[in-house]
Chain A
């Protein structure tokens, strides 16, 4: 007698909700990629606002005795511009790239704490909104470092200064939470086989930056809280009239402030270390040396804060200490530069826009580093402190360093994020505008500084002889702005009309290119086993071995079917692959 058994479903699904795609889904998202995009878009908005502020200042300084902007508004613009660029653009823009890329690069499905990640972003937005709400009454005007006593209740009585303090609190908390998330994600969620010696160099940069944030943020958070209580609760931390010390503010601020410089730069170093080998078509030269120099720079960066205070009353031997430790930073930085040049050396270089920006970074950042070594020598610093030489130096480091790296990252990873390529001619045009504009704006400011022009002045008389240099600098600033606007136009245009990119348009080496462009919500259908620092190259070689055809394997990696082919190839070597 035979019995017929009807098949019974093992898993019954009811009322499966469709994935939401409307604007509310962006507000409530915990997907690391969407949060990354939110960060990037918000940062770009703040970047444009900060840029407009810079253009207003440059317009005021274009000619002697100009009356376009009065002294009060100029001070406010200086403060808003510096604060915006540092706290609302450069630091969070790396959080945006890190959010989007780190899980993809290490073969993870999301960040370790997705909700904490969303909270970080919204705290950052809240900081920006609180800060910019001050434009409706009195914006802060004590400079981006808010030295006391200028920033205390006597000299800055308006609430604008308080919005600056709240900005630091909110964005600091956002950075802190983001940093913890990054550290935990990289430490615990790497793909099988991805040891510490195999994580991408961008991840090393971001990881080191995150650790520095965890070290530095509490110091500034404490300092601004002390300033807040000085302003409103009659404490006397920084007020010399009742036993406080204005110098204490400088120590606390710069103990945070100098690591902050490297917080802004280290992920940029990581970007350059990713871009150069891809477009030089050879492995990065000295992977371990670059990783080690990243952590070396991070360590030295907390030992050099007082070089911002060389003109303060500090004992001579202490100045000597900070001079030597500041100069020592040039060593690991030099190691990086030499390794990058060695990566390009005899490579089969493909001149694409990301490489243009990476090379621009190399040239301009090295120049900024050289003037940094000059300024580390305190007798030289005594001569040019508070002059436009300093303005030129830190813009060479931060604009050329951070912004060039941001541009390189944008042109390199935009295809992954959007699924479309940015226009190459427009990108190259944007690069040349930015490069020439930057040199014209800030190169000439070295000369202005050596001629004695102090920073933060809102006007100058014609008989100083600074008029021509300032005009060149202002024209340069508008050329630079045109370059940036060309990139914005390129992005807007390419979102709809760009060439379809495919999963791996650059034939790159890291895991994010293993996924589709843009990647699905879960990032990977199969998480590959990593056996070297260039996992995608290994997969390509495996495919080539299986099919015996290197060209077709390269093409197949650049198509969606690559995932299944690669998974098949990988199955031979890896039993530890994690399947969805």
Chain B
């Protein structure tokens, strides 16, 4: 641990990570092209969000943030977790917001995602929110236990499992919150806001103690060489305050986005219902009396 802190030019070109990112980007491009071909529309917001999400995954896993987080600063490691578990998944799922998937997925996948299919049914299960929230809590809290956290930082394989589980639980959580599945565009499920709020409460259990605790909790980082002249305790407080700030600001933004989406969905649904009722009333009044 006597070597210098990696500079911003030091990137880890992990072939596994690069391949995963490339495959995901290729699959999304195919989906996007198909949707564009079918509808003639450009889904700029979705594309920007997805690109942003992939960029953040690359930043978290390939940039110097990874080695600095593993060996020097707890705050860098926690920032990496926030990127992988929260911001990148949110952007990736927003990148598939309606109606992109409905137009972009091949028929076989659409069939698999339909409510009658196994996967589609599972993703729309009425208890999926509670399950996903539980999974999110287990990953958030489990990996933050000091012994587990230190072990993950020390062992690359365990570290990879940690990152994969954080990314997966984040994706599942944001699927529940964003609700991007085909056929859901006019369903105003207000519990989405509840799950979003509950997910922040879960995150607060990790970030608030780190912010306010008066002693260091993670022995690996307490004994690590000091980078950027930050003391171990200040590093821990920075990790907590940074996590809280980012996660709560993400929550604030997401809350407003989901809230507006819900208002829009409900309004659209009501207008369709009213239009249908009107046309039904006018058609029944046009029918001859004996036909009623």
Residues of chain A whose beta carbon lies under 8 Å from any beta carbon of chain B:
193, 195-198, 288-289, 291-293, 295-296, 299-300, 303, 315-318, 320-321, 324-325, 328, 332, 531, 573, 575
Residue B26 is within 8 A (CB to CB) of chain A in the complex: no
Give the number of residue pairs across the A-B interface with Cβ within 8 Å.
Answer: 70
In the complex, the answer to whether A197 meets B267 with C-beta atoms within 8 Å is yes
Assess whether A195 is in contact with B267, with CB atoms less than 8 Å apart: yes
**CB neighbours of A295 from chain B (8 A):** 255-256, 259
Interface check B212, CB cutoff 8 A: yes
Extra contacts besides A296-B252, A321-B211, A328-B252 (9): CB < 8 Å: A193-B274, A197-B263, A292-B256, A292-B263, A293-B256, A299-B251, A315-B211, A315-B241, A328-B249
For B197, the closest partner residue in chain A by CB is A299
Pairwise interchain contact B259-A303, C-beta atoms closer than 8 A: no
Nearest-neighbour CB distance to chain A for B269, whole angstroms, equals 8
Q: Name the A residues within 8 Å of B234 (CB-CB).
A: 315-317
Contact yes or no, B211 A195, CB < 8 A: no
Q: Which residues of chain A are within 8 angstroms of B266 by Cβ–Cβ distance?
A: 195-197
Residue pair B237, A193 in contact (C-beta under 8 Å): no
Cβ-defined contact, B241 with A193, below 8 A: no
Cβ of A456 to closest chain B Cβ, rounded Å: 29
A252 to chain B, nearest CB (A): 14
Q: Is A321 in contact with B259, judged by CB distance below 8 angstroms?
A: no
Residues on A with C-beta less than 8 A from B11 are none
Contacts of B270 in A (CB 8 A): 193, 195, 197
- B116 at interface by CB-CB < 8 Å: no
| A residues less than 8 Å from B259 (CB atoms) | 291-292, 295
Residues in A neighbouring B211, C-beta threshold 8 A: 315, 317-318, 321
Residue B189 is within 8 A (CB to CB) of chain A in the complex: no
Contact of A296 among B241, B245, B255, B277 (CB under 8 A): B255
Q: Which residue of A lies closest to B268 (CB)?
A: A197
Instruction: Specify which chain A residues have a CB less than 8 angstroms from the CB of B238 in the assembled complex.
Output: 317
A320–B278 contact, CB under 8 A? Answer: no
What residues of A have a CB within 8 angstroms of the CB of B237 in the complex? 315, 317-318
Enumerate B217-238 residues with CB–CB distance to A below 8 Å: 234, 237-238
Bound complex: CA of A296 vs CA of B250, how far in Å? 12
Does B248 lie at the interface of the complex (its beta carbon under 8 Å from any beta carbon of A)?
Answer: yes
CB A283 to nearest CB in B, in angstroms, measures: 15
The list of the 5 closest CB pairs from A to B, nearest first, reads A321-B241, A197-B263, A197-B267, A317-B241, A292-B256
Q: Is the CB of A196 within 8 A of B262?
A: yes
B244 on interface, CB distance cutoff 8 Å = yes
Closest to B244 in A: A321
- Identify the B interface with A (CB < 8 A): 188, 190, 211-212, 234, 237-238, 241-242, 244-245, 248-249, 251-252, 255-256, 259-260, 262-264, 266-267, 270, 274, 277-278, 281
Distance of A303 Cα from B245 Cα, bound (Å)? 9
Contact between B263 and A325, CB atoms less than 8 A apart:
no
Q: Is the interface of B mostly helix, strand, loop or mixed?
A: helix
On chain B, the residues within 8 Å of A296 by CB distance are: 252, 255-256
Partner of B241, one of A292, A299, A318: A318
Residues of A contacting B267 with CB < 8 Å?
195, 197-198
Q: Which residues of B contact A303 (CB under 8 A)?
A: 248
Nearest-neighbor residue (CB-CB) of B188 within chain A: A196
Contact A320-B241, Cβ < 8 Å, known A193-B274, A196-B263, A291-B263:
yes
Bound: A328/B250 CA distance, A: 12
B284 to chain A, nearest CB (A): 11
A325 in contact with B255 given A195-B266, A196-B263 (CB within 8 Å): no
Report B188 CB to chain A, min CB distance, Å. Answer: 8
Cα A538 to Cα B274 in complex, Å, equals 15
Expressed in whole angstroms, the minimum distance between the Cβ of B218 and any Cβ of chain A is 16
Closest beta carbon of chain A to B243's beta carbon, Å: 10
* Nearest residue, chain B, Cβ from A316: B234
> Which residues of A are found within 8 Å of B212, using beta-carbon distances?
318
> Which residues of B lie under 8 Å from residue A321 when comparing CB positions?
211, 241-242, 244-245
Give min CB distance, B57 to chain A, whole Å: 25
Q: Which residues of B contact A318 (CB under 8 A)?
A: 211-212, 237, 241
A293 to B274, CA, bound (A): 28
User: What separation, in Å, do the CA atoms of A536 and B132 have in the docked complex?
Assistant: 44
| Whole-angstrom distance between the Cβ of B205 and the nearest chain A Cβ | 15
- Within 8 Å CB of B241, what residues of A? 315, 317-318, 320-321
Q: What's the Cα separation between A291 and B259 when bound, in Å? A: 9
How far does the Cβ of A249 sit from chain B's closest Cβ, in whole Å?
16
